[in-house]
Amino acid sequence: MAFKSSSSSSSNARPTSYSSSPLEASYQRWINKQLEARALEYSQVHKVSVCCASWNVNARELIDNCDLSGWLLSGSSPPADIYAIGLQEIVDLNVINVVINSNASDEKSSYWHNQVFRVLQNTGVEYSLLAEKHMVGLQLMIFTRLSLKASIGDVRSAHVYTGGYGVTGNKGGITIRFDVFDSPLCFVCSHFHANRENVEQRNLDFHTILETTLLSPPAVISKRPSLSTGSIGSSTVKMDNRRESVSNRHYSLNLKSSNLSGPLKIDGHEQIFWFGDLNYRMVEELEDQQVFDIVHSGNWGGLRSKDQLNVEREKGNVFQNFEEGVLTFPPTYKYQPGTNVYDQRPEKKIRAPAWCDRVLWKCLNKDSVILLSYQTAPLNISDHKPISAWFECGVRKVVLEKAREVYQDLLFAVDKWINASTPKLSLENRLYDFGAVSINVSFMHIYFYLRIPHCKICLAKVHQRHSDYKHRDSYGRMEIYSKE
């Protein structure tokens, strides 16, 4: 009779936990999945307002009478708690700017930061820049109320090129993610390929950004208060404090909202907001003049079913499981710069009006994000109109005592399943001698489920060596370790 196990470098080594077993690892995965599904049971939900704003500025700067307040402020709501502002074409997308010169992009990103921050300062609310990232013509800025910043941590950013077969930044996406309390939020600003016929390329832009964006942790993780303890510490300390076993089993109560040591992807965040110049046009079956006629008649609502993005989403080709508000505003492209008139100048290439500029979102809990408004603003320096979407978002703050209750409930369910599926033994004698047993390693891990409490049973004699017996719990789980 031979028992085999993995080898150990130490003759006195002991298994560190039951989770090394594939079966126990599967129990842990089930527990983690259930903890995620029941997160609202052990969390307090706090409401925060989010404004996602996007504008393709066509390499223009503001003129004297151009006021960004109509774009970034809502007359019916107070200023947002979080502003995610994305810009496209902050510089001309010529070969020099795309391939050679980054100075122009640096200068314009600083210019637009100052313009936006000036508007926010005039609201009477204190804001700070949480994160900013730009590449060539694309820029993403995250501003938060100063009062909220202490509740934010693990800020990360990344960018992906999709122009020039993935080597140039004239097209692509910028992503910034962070935790608000214990909810991970993710914001993506992107600029997809242009031209009416490039539908598949735009779909590919989406999937490339979604699948290849890797949000690596910074060298020093941003600090914020440990909301569970009230002490100040890094996010790592805060999360590690939550890794506790509240059972005699070696499962862990792991409530981390993100992987603090490794890269993250866009999918998997509780709330994802994706916006920018997505460049989807009207379906090719419609002639340009037909689109102009419909828009000029004021019946542009009938064009929604002819919008390429709506068509592709309906087919399941792009932005799967994302949501978007109803397009209640006229197409945002293409205007004659300096006017509110669609560009039909004969000396210019005719582009049919289209909803190129969009805001979409995706959330694990459908009720956690509520769209309050989806609108455009009458700014006319560009051939695009700016858009903004206002949300009320529910973010979670974990209550550890409630989390332990849910966790204990899950452990009880695991134990109940193990007991129901384990063969039962009835023993007549108190001593059993199996004779000589050959064991090829320094330790072994054997489980027996016995119905005789407080019964100490000799299970094996290992080549005349002494065996160590340890009664584990009320179900009679026993570990046997061979010793020298």
The pLDDT value recorded for residue 481 is 36
CA distances from 408 to 93, 204, 239, 414 (A): 57, 45, 19, 10
Q: In this structure, is residue 117 part of a structural domain? A: yes
User: Do 105 and 16 belong together in one domain?
Assistant: no
Q: Does residue 272 share a domain with residue 315?
A: yes
| pLDDT on residue 262 | 85
Q: Per the domain annotation, does 410 fall within a domain?
A: no
- Same domain? For 372 and 331 the reply is yes
Same domain for 292 and 436? no
Residue 248 placed within a domain:
yes
* 7 and 64 share one domain: no
Residue range of the domain that includes 471 = 2-29+424-482
Q: What is the model's pLDDT at position 142?
A: 98
Q: Are residues 250 and 302 in the same domain?
A: yes
Last residue of a domain, one of 368, 401, 434: 401
**Structural tokens at position 265:** 């992807």
How much is the pLDDT for 431? 56
| The pLDDT of residue 219 | 67
At 480 the pLDDT is 38
| Tens-level pLDDT at each residue, the chain (484 residues) | 332 333 333 333 333 333 457 878 888 889 988 988 898 899 999 999 999 999 999 999 998 778 999 999 987 789 999 999 999 999 998 888 887 777 899 999 999 999 999 999 999 999 999 999 999 999 999 999 999 999 999 999 999 999 988 888 899 999 999 999 999 999 999 999 999 999 999 999 999 999 999 999 986 544 443 333 222 222 222 222 222 333 334 566 766 655 556 899 999 899 999 999 999 999 999 999 999 999 999 898 889 999 999 999 999 999 999 999 999 999 999 999 999 999 999 998 999 999 999 999 999 988 999 999 999 999 999 999 999 999 999 999 999 999 999 999 999 998 888 888 776 666 565 555 555 555 444 444 443 433 334 444 444 333 334 444 443 333 333 333 333 3
**Residue 343 and residue 386 share a domain:** yes
Closest C-alpha to 55, from 92, 91, 86: 86
CATH number of the domain residue 348 falls in = 3.60.10.10
Assess whether 63 and 202 both reside in one domain: yes
Residue 223 and residue 297 in one domain: yes
- The number of distinct structural domains making up the chain is 2
pLDDT of residue 472: 36
| Residue 413 located in a structural domain | no
pLDDT for position 432: 54
Those residues whose C-beta lies under 8 Å from the C-beta of residue 340, and which sit 6 or more positions away, are 378, 380
pTM here? Answer: 0.78
- Within this chain, do residues 55 and 204 fall inside the same structural domain, yes or no? yes
Annotate the chain with three-state secondary structure: CEECCCCCCCCCCCCCCHHHCHHHHHHHHHHHHHHHHCHHHHEEEEEEEEEEEEEECCCCCCCCCCCCHHHHCCCCCCCCCEEEEEEECCCCCCHHHHHHCCHHHHHHHHHHHHHHHHHHHCCCCCEEEEEEEEECCEEEEEEEEHHHHCCEEEEEEEEEEEECCCCEEEEEEEEEEEEECCEEEEEEEEECCCCCCCHHHHHHHHHHHHHHCCECCCCCCCEEECCCCCCEEEHHHHHHHHCECCCCCCCCECCCCCCCCCCECCCCCCEEEEEEECCCCECCCCCHHHHHHHHHCCCHHHHHHHEHHHHHHHHCCCCCCCECCCCCCCCCECECCCCCCECCCCCCCCCCCECCEEEEEEECCHHHEEEEEEEECCCCCCCECCEEEEEEEEEEEECHHHHHHHHHHHHHHHHHHHHHHCCCCCCCCCCCCCCECEECCCCCCCCCCCCCCCCCCCCCEECCECEEEEECCCCCCEEEEECC
Q: Are residues 155 and 6 in the same domain?
A: no
Residue 112 belongs to some domain of the structure: yes
